[in-house]
Chains A and B, each alone.
Chain A
Amino acid sequence: MSLATAPAPAQDGVELTARHHPRVAPAKKPSNRRRRLAYAGLTPFAAYVLIFLALPTILAVVTGFFSDDGSLTFDNITGLFTPTILATFGSSFWLSGVTAVIGAVVGALICYAMLGTKVGGLLRTIIESAASVLAQFGGVMLAFAFIATIGVQGLVTVILRDTFGVDIFADGVWLYQVPGLILPYVYFQVPLMVITFLPALTALRPQWAEASATLGGTRFAYWRHIAAPVLAPAFLGSLLLLFANAFSSFATAAALISQGSQIVPLQIRAALVSETVLGRENMAGALALGMIVVMVVVMWAYSALQSRTSRWQK
């Protein structure tokens, strides 16, 4: 909305008034009513989030503070610090970290390559759509796709073994253990990086490169002193998002790994569904609390970086 045509009660008009007469605030009332109206519009969404996200989360976490018979206890919370559970968090961190870094680096390179394509052109549209779809392609389908291609009897495994004499499982079958999750996870991490990082990369103005060149800057100097500092928050932010994405993934791992519960979401499953080791249902709540703490820290860091990034995306 342009200033010239702004009607009196509009936001821009209010700002103008306030700026010119800092001590009086005649427009305060309509502004408040407007804001209240805006909040009212938000109510359905807020209620939805509250009922289907916040409430179940709180209920789940609260169970972590109760014992089997319903009395208050901290046993489950202290249970988080046993060697087995700590090791589980450790391998969750390791897996999420490795796949986030690989996903971020590969994804960023793809984004960089895409800068050479025309905005709105066929190639870029195809890559963008494919990335949006593949970023959501996880779970049982993905797991079985990997079993069918690089499982012990997988298509690729058999071709490599019979035609090229390469046995990818020479040192044992790693697909159904934590290292085996890296490939499937990277499969959805790279497209997610493309989706989240591309907007930041396209925000790099050609004028900046031209200005740098005009002043005698080399290509390296441009990347070192201009592009890298501008992109760093966006890159790190996307990296954190990828980390969080891997950390909370469950279905792919559940479909691939059936022994040992090596990562936290699998531990939660074990605690909830086991028909042999009973009475650990409430431990699941404590494990969820542990995951939420990690996610809150990561998402807080992400949003802090995001607000820095958005300065350059205007």
Chain B
Amino acid sequence: MFTKRTLAAVALVAASAISLSGCSTTEAAAGDVDASTATTAEDFGGMDALIAAAQAEGELNVIALPDNWANYGEIKALFEEKYDIIVNSADPDVSSAEEIAAADNLKGQDTAPDVFDLGTAVTLDSLDYFAPYMVANWDEIPEGNKEATGLWVNDYTGSMSIGYDSNSVPEPTSLDDLLKPEYRGAVALNGDPTQAGAAFAALGLATVHQGGTLDDFTPGIEFFEELNDAGNFIPVNVTGATIAAGETKVAFDWSYNNLAAAATVDGWKVTTLPGAVYTSFYNQAINKDAPHPAAARLWQEFLYSPEAQNLFIVGGAYPVTIQALQDAGTVDTAALDALGALEGELVTPTPEQAEKNAEILAEKWTVAIG
């Protein structure tokens, strides 16, 4: 799949089909608070008042949150159970760009998305769509991981990993391994790097492992060109179905996606190459035209609570408050041990680097793998 969300297979259709029944944009029940301009829970008169206001709205519209992406399935279910608010999960498989397009197209309707979960490029390009909000544990989020007024906040990251079918190919221990004949017609990317964030990250990882820097992805592009010339690159759409069918034997993808596949497909294993670790946070933001403004803010509070942050760890992702969780001793140690710490030299492109490399890819990618 070319979209942001990949391994979200068939089961998600059911999730997206959850009631799209009409809901009204009732204003906060408690007091005369305008929920759509509230920037903290205090603006509602405290957390209990925020919960009451959100419950009065009764529903929350989320978009692009597949159940098997970073454990969002459990996170959504827990929110519903804890607050008795219905979560309407629309279009789990769309890209970040399409989330913003949905906010545009559905503006003023009660089916518009309340909250976004976006890649960095789209986030920085869409600031006009967001309402600023600071969660109660705002201080636990490191400085570099949030916009100063709370327009957007990093939520979780994975590391770029390689998933492989251990029944048919050996474990790759370096990038060059993948050029060997054992990997003929085997290596796939999760999407086209000129369209999908995960594939873009794979090119970044290949670049640093080829000795390049994140200023210029050309070494990564050249590696995939070589891979393609060797007949090892396969431009098939990676989905849970192609992995299960054995059509995709090696896939570059976020660790949490590959781990989700490993949980369901026998023999699917995940490895990260020794050396630089490529990470990239997704970002949480509230739609400023949210039809359920209080529920949107409660969702934000909930996502950054230790409970939900730990669920990201269970899903194979590293939440943004992980240091605070560890310091406070509230981290789910069993889950973290299973996942392993994020170690080594962490690299993440700056927005400027990302933009420049997008141009380079737009120019060179199609030619390289043609």
* Chain A residues close to B by CB (< 8 Å): 84, 144, 147-148, 151-153, 169, 172-173, 175-177, 254-262, 269-270, 272-279, 281
Chain B CB within 10 Å, residue with most, of A176, A256, A277: A277
Within 8 A of A (CB), among B340-363: 354, 358-359, 361-362
Q: In this complex, what residue of A is CB-closest to B194?
A: A277
* Residue B66 interfacial (CB < 8 Å): no
Given contacts A173-B185, A255-B237, contact A273 B231 (CB under 8 A): no
User: Which residues from A are CB-within-8-Å of B195?
Assistant: 261, 269-270, 273-277
Q: How far is the CB of A153 from chain B (nearest CB, A)?
A: 4
Smallest CB-CB A-B distances: 3 pairs: A259-B235, A258-B237, A275-B96
Report how far A169 CA is from B231 CA in the complex, Å. 10
Q: How far is the CB of B27 from chain A (nearest CB, A)?
A: 32
User: Which residues from B are CB-within-8-Å of A278?
Assistant: 97, 121-122, 125, 358
Check A276 against B121 for contact (C-beta < 8 Å).
yes
Check A258 against B238 for contact (C-beta < 8 Å).
yes
Report how far A278 CA is from B100 CA in the complex, Å. 12
User: Which residues from A are CB-within-8-Å of B242?
Assistant: 147
User: Which residues from A are CB-within-8-Å of B238?
Assistant: 258
Q: How far is the CB of A154 from chain B (nearest CB, A)?
A: 8
Within 8 A of A (CB), among B202-216: none
In the assembled complex, 23 residue pairs joining A and B whose CB atoms fall closer than 8 Å, in A order, are: A153-B246, A153-B247, A173-B236, A257-B235, A257-B237, A259-B235, A259-B365, A260-B192, A270-B192, A272-B97, A272-B101, A273-B95, A273-B98, A274-B95, A275-B4, A275-B118, A276-B119, A276-B121, A277-B194, A277-B195, A277-B358, A277-B362, A281-B101
Check A147 against B121 for contact (C-beta < 8 Å).
no
User: Which residues from B are CB-within-8-Å of A281?
Assistant: 97, 101
Report how far A293 CA is from B328 CA in the complex, Å. 64
User: Which residues from B are CB-within-8-Å of A152?
Assistant: 185, 234, 247
Check A261 against B185 for contact (C-beta < 8 Å).
no
Q: 12 other contacts beyond A172-B185, A276-B361, A279-B125, with CB at 8 A cut-off? A: A173-B234, A177-B235, A261-B192, A262-B366, A272-B97, A274-B95, A274-B196, A275-B97, A275-B118, A276-B197, A278-B122, A278-B358
* Residue B245 interfacial (CB < 8 Å): yes
Report how far A6 CA is from B176 CA in the complex, Å. 86
Check A276 against B354 for contact (C-beta < 8 Å).
yes
Interface size of B as a range: 35 or more
Q: In this complex, what residue of B is CB-closest to A143?
A: B237
* Residue B94 interfacial (CB < 8 Å): yes
Within 8 A of A (CB), among B159-200: 185, 188-189, 191-197, 200
* Residue B144 interfacial (CB < 8 Å): no
Check B122 against A275 for contact (C-beta < 8 Å).
yes
Q: B123-137 toward A: CB 8 Å interface, digit per residue (1/0)?
A: 001000000000000
Report how far A84 CA is from B370 CA in the complex, Å. 12
Report how far A227 CA is from B214 CA in the complex, Å. 67
Check B94 against A276 for contact (C-beta < 8 Å).
no
Report how far A21 CA is from B168 CA in the complex, Å. 88
* Residue B369 interfacial (CB < 8 Å): yes
Q: In this complex, what residue of A is CB-closest to B125?
A: A278
Q: B89-110 toward A: CB 8 Å interface, digit per residue (1/0)?
A: 0000011111001000000000
Within 8 A of A (CB), among B233-286: 234-238, 241-242, 245-247
Report how far A148 CA is from B241 CA in the complex, Å. 10
User: Which residues from B are CB-within-8-Å of A144?
Assistant: 241
Check A169 against B185 for contact (C-beta < 8 Å).
yes
Chain A CB within 10 Å, residue with most, of B3, B191, B236, B245: B236
* Residue B304 interfacial (CB < 8 Å): no
Report how far A275 CA is from B362 CA in the complex, Å. 12
Q: In this complex, what residue of B is CB-closest to A158?
A: B246
Check A276 against B247 for contact (C-beta < 8 Å).
no
Report how far A144 CA is from B121 CA in the complex, Å. 32
User: Which residues from B are CB-within-8-Å of A261?
Assistant: 192, 194-195, 366
Check A84 against B366 for contact (C-beta < 8 Å).
yes
Report how far A262 CA is from B118 CA in the complex, Å. 27
Report how far A177 CA is from B2 CA in the complex, Å. 15
Chain A CB within 10 Å, residue with most, of B98, B122, B195, B238: B195
Q: How far is the CB of A156 from chain B (nearest CB, A)?
A: 14
Check B122 against A260 for contact (C-beta < 8 Å).
no
User: Which residues from A are CB-within-8-Å of B1?
Assistant: 258
Q: In this complex, what residue of A is CB-closest to B124?
A: A278
Q: In this complex, what residue of B is CB-closest to A175?
A: B236
Report how far A273 CA is from B3 CA in the complex, Å. 8
Report how far A279 CA is from B97 CA in the complex, Å. 10
User: Which residues from A are CB-within-8-Å of B194?
Assistant: 261, 270, 274, 276-277
Report how far A257 CA is from B1 CA in the complex, Å. 9
Report how far A269 CA is from B3 CA in the complex, Å. 11
Check B366 against A147 for contact (C-beta < 8 Å).
no
Check A148 against B245 for contact (C-beta < 8 Å).
yes
Q: In this complex, what residue of B is CB-closest to A147?
A: B247
Given contacts A272-B97, A274-B97, contact A256 B237 (CB under 8 A): yes
User: Which residues from B are CB-within-8-Å of A275?
Assistant: 4, 95-97, 118-119, 121-122, 195-197
Report how far A147 CA is from B235 CA in the complex, Å. 12
Given contacts A153-B245, A260-B366, A276-B354, contact A176 B235 (CB under 8 A): yes
Check B235 against A273 for contact (C-beta < 8 Å).
no
Q: B50-77 toward A: CB 8 Å interface, digit per residue (1/0)?
A: 0000000000000000000000000000
User: Which residues from B are CB-within-8-Å of A147?
Assistant: 236, 242, 245, 247
Check A176 against B234 for contact (C-beta < 8 Å).
yes
User: Which residues from B are CB-within-8-Å of A177?
Assistant: 235
User: Which residues from A are CB-within-8-Å of B121?
Assistant: 275-276, 278
Check B369 against A259 for contact (C-beta < 8 Å).
yes
